[in-house]
Amino acid sequence: MRRRDVDPEKLLEMIRSILPSRARVVARLQKAGNRRVVRRSIHQALQTEDHFMRWCEALTEGLSDGCRR
């Protein structure tokens, strides 16, 4: 079977099935971006909590346990 005997629509379908999809690139970038946002928010939350706890401990240093409540 020669190339010109192949149906043009079938040829396009075969080409599309062989070539990688461009949509995967965008999906991969969005997934990485979403993960980055989550990691940054968790990191920020941990830093904020840690900073707050150190401030509380410094503020209440030297107080008896009865006064800390």
Give pTM, 2 decimals.
Answer: 0.48
Rounded distance between C-alpha atoms, residue 44 and residue 30, angstroms: 21
The residue-averaged pLDDT of 46-54 equals: 82
Please say whether the beta carbons of 46 and 39 come within 8 A. Answer: no
Residue holding tokens 């009865």? 66
The residues, ordered by sequence, that sit 6+ positions from 60 with a Cβ below 8 Å of its Cβ are 67, 68
pLDDT of residue 57: 85
The residue-averaged pLDDT of 33-52 equals: 90
Statement: residue 68 has pLDDT above 60:
no
Domain positions in the chain are 21-69
Q: How many helices (H) and strands (E) does the chain have?
A: 2, 0
